């Protein structure tokens, strides 16, 4: 491949990325987003967390010792801390730390 072909490919990819990122701002510059967009905007963090939880536990062998206990305790602690303190970073750090301790030293 020639250098010019690679440069053109990179430039085209950069342009496509830029256009797709800037398009929503251009589209919604003059008007308010609709109720569906507002609903998605409001609930997106929760939807992402649910997807990540199910993705994280998809390969956990619940029929074999330790029966998914570290994973489930981590999920419960993260949820409880987030509901209590409403701090996502703290919830993630504490639950991850608990999970690591359980996996490395308890089970």
Tokens, residue 87: 């701090």
pLDDT in tens, 62-90: 999 999 999 999 999 999 998 999 898 99
For the chain, the structural domain boundaries read: 1-31, 34-106
Other Cβ atoms less than 10 A from the Cβ of 78: the count is: 22
pLDDT in tens, 16-28: 999 999 998 888 7
């Amino acid at each position: 491949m020639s250098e010019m072909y690679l440069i053109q490919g990179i430039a085209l990819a950069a342009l496509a990325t830029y256009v797709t990122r800037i398009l929503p701002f251009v589209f919604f510059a003059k008007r308010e987003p609709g109720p569906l967009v507002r609903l998605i905007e409001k609930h997106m963090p929760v939807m992402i967390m649910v997807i990540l939880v199910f993705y994280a536990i998809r390969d956990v062998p619940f029929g074999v010792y330790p029966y998914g206990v570290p994973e489930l305790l981590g999920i419960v602690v993260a949820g409880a801390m987030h509901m209590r303190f409403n701090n996502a970073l703290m919830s993630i750090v504490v639950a991850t730390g608990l999970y690591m301790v359980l996996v490395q030293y308890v089970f």
